Structure 1
């Protein structure tokens, strides 16, 4: 959401210029980035800075303790994750739902705290499995949590990858610079021009009495709109992140050409799907789960992904819907399709079926019960 503020974009461009001018300084990336992040948050909101300073210090203390302790490691690990999930995830979601209000959260809830909780959890996993070898300097841990390009909207950075990048000197060659600038421009165009125009069309059609053809149009249109919105943010984050010297994972990998729902979730918001798969299946890594167990885990993961987007029944059923489809694919052994081993017509037919299933459910992202029900009811209104 920082990308909708011109001052924020100018500040990031200025930081990139400073990094380039000081590239001969071995630690310029590590030291200048933390200064930039703290100053950025301070200027954006003093309350936001205070909150994240405390959030970072507390979790770094927990991270170091988990790295070093040999007593009650699993209990400490579970407690640290539970404390973050219950104390932050549910707290912020309940605030969004209007259950309670606290002035401290008025600028925080809109700034991707849930993304940062997932990063904290990933760091705790690293500490738990690597122990003393996994401990990192406080400055690198803080840079990981407060990394501005991905602060509000992802992609979700892996702790191990970010720490590896922190050890490398700042280098941005001409080819990377050109590609990153193009990604930023593309992201801005998607978000500011395309999404704004498409939202206007969507709202105009939604005001009409909905019939089958109009509801179908809105489902397809909203799917494209959401794709442009999400991928636009990712393009900007990836572009700015790479210009600041860090490797950014791709978040959208041609999801429209996914021949199964399983492959769709490896291509759509890929870092989120990867996070939940890695951190749940990790506990089953010593044994190969049966197809029934894997199917059950798929349902669990998708329900969690649904609730991650919003703590409502709409998102619960959204996750359950996708989870059941993934489970069926797993049980029927149709989770993947090798394009080279099947005919083009079969491959694209599978892509069409997958996109139809996704299109039917993606309207849930509107987070509006009335809108969702109106569009679904309109599908059954054949006359008019």
Structure 2
């Protein structure tokens, strides 16, 4: 959300200039970035600043504890993850007004569902690498509070971020040009395309009676809209992140040319799918899972991704829908298609089928139950 605020964009640009001017200082991006991250949050919202100061401090202490403790490591590991999930879930329930408290402010939810995934990834690293995982406090804070990816990802891996932190700040002309082009492309998507497409979507969806062709149009239109929205944000985050000296992973890898749902979820919001696969399948890494195990894990992962998006029955059904389809691909041995070993007709037919499955449920991302049901009801309303 920073990137729709010109003051925020100017602040990020200013930080890049400061890093460029101080590039001869070996630790410039570590110390200056921490100061920037904290000042940015403080100016944006004092409540957000103090909440994340406390949240990150507590988790850093938990991280160090897990690095050092030798007793009941697995129990502590599960407990610390459970405490984070419970805390974030409780805050989301406050945001949904299931609970109320005068101390709660919705601003505290900003970026939390992304940042808790980073916290858990760091706990995994501490659990599996012990004392070797120990990290200076300023690097841990920079990892959690990294402003370019703070609100909507891409989701950074702890190991990769720390590896980048150890590298001196370097930025050549080619890298600068490429990063700026990514930022401009992302801005165009977010400000021009998404704004226009949202207006069209609202105008059509707000009609009292939708017909089949209108509902189909809205489902396809919304699918393209959220692609430009999500990928536009990712483009800007990747651009600014790389200008600050960090290799931000790609979030969208040509998802429309995915011939199976298994491959689709490795290409659409890739860092999110990778995170859930890495942190669920890792407990089964000692042996190759059977087809039935892989199918069951697919359902579990997609249900968790659905609930991660929102605590509602629509997201639960969305997760079950995609999970069952992925499970069937596993059980039938249809989870991958090698483009070089099949005909062009077969490959693109599978791509079209995958997009059909995705489009059928993509409207759930709108987050508005009334809109979703209104569009689905319109599918049954034939104009003749």
User: Shorter-chain TM-score: what band?
Assistant: over 0.9
- Unpaired segments ≥5 residues, structure 2: none
Q: Say if 1:148 and 1:369 are closer, same or farther in 2 by CA, change over 3 A.
A: same
Q: Cα deviations across residues 1-56 of structure 1 (Å, max 9, x unaligned)?
A: 11111111100000000000000100001010000001111111111111111111
Q: Do structure 1's residue 301 and structure 2's residue 301 form an aligned pair?
A: yes
Contact 1:96–1:109, Cα closer than 8 Å, also in 2: no
Work out whether 1:270 is the aligned partner of 2:265: no
| SS of residue in 2 equivalent to 1:108 | helix
State the match for 1:247 in structure 2.
247
What is the RMSD of the two structures over their aligned residues, measured on CA atoms?
1.0
Q: Quick check: 1:47–1:104 contact (8 Å CA) kept in 2? A: no
Deviation sequence 1:202-248 (CA, Å, 0-9, x none) = 11111222111111000000000011111111111100000000010
Contact 2:95–2:106 (CA<8 Å) still a contact in 1? no
Deviations 1:137-189 (A, max 9, x none): 11110110010000000000000000000000001111111111011111111
**Is the partner of 1:15 in helix, strand or coil?**
helix
Aligned to 1:171: 170
2-side partners of 1:128 and 1:331: how far apart? 33
CA distance in 2, matches of 1:264, 1:93: 28
Unaligned runs of 5+ in 1: none
SS of residue paired to 1:266: coil
Measure the CA separation in 1 of the matches of 2:338 and 2:82.
40
Residues 14 and 186 from structure 1, CA distance in 2 versus in 1: closer, same or farther, beyond 3 angstroms? same
With 126-135 and 203-212 compared, the bigger mean Cα shift is at 203-212
State the distance in 1 between where 2:115 and 2:104 align. Answer: 15
Q: What TM-score do you get using the length of structure 2 for normalisation?
A: 0.98
1:346-371: per-residue Cα shift (whole Å, max 9, x none)?
A: 11100000001100100001111111
Residues 279-288 or 365-374, more deviating: 365-374
Aligned to 1:283, the other structure's residue is in SS state helix
Q: Is the 8 A contact 2:34 2:141 kept in 1?
A: yes
2:68 corresponding residue in structure 1: 68
CA change 1:242–1:103 in 2 (3 A) is: farther
The answer to whether the 8 Å contact 1:211/1:382 transfers is yes
Q: Structure 1 residues 273 and 297 mapped into 2: Cα distance closer, same or farther (>3 Å)?
A: same
Structure 1: distance between partners of 2:251 and 2:124:
22
Does 2:217 match 1:217?
yes
Does the Cα contact within 8 Å between 2:299 and 2:322 map onto a contact in 1? yes
User: Cα deviation per residue 1:292-337 (whole Å; 9 max; x = unaligned)?
Assistant: 0100000000000000000111100001000000000000111111
For residue 107 of structure 1, report the CA deviation from its aligned partner: 4.7
> Displacement of 1:97 after TM fit?
1.7
Local SS of the residue matching 1:381:
coil
Partners of 1:230 and 1:347 in 2: CA distance? 26
2:266 counterpart SS class: helix
The offset of 1:101, in angstroms, is: 3.1
1:364 corresponds in structure 2 to 364
The whole-number CA distance in structure 2 between the counterparts of 1:356 and 1:302 is 18
The Cα of 1:110 is off from its aligned counterpart by 5.0
Q: Distance in 2 between matches of 1:347 and 1:108?
A: 45
**8 A Cα contact 1:126 1:159, kept in partner:** yes
How many angstroms apart in 2 are the aligned matches of 1:330 and 1:59?
A: 37
User: Distance between the aligned counterparts of 1:207 and 1:110, measured in 2?
Assistant: 29
How many residues in Structure 1 have an aligned counterpart in Structure 2?
A: 383
Task: Write the distance in 1 (CA, Å) between the matches of 2:105 and 2:4.
Answer: 18
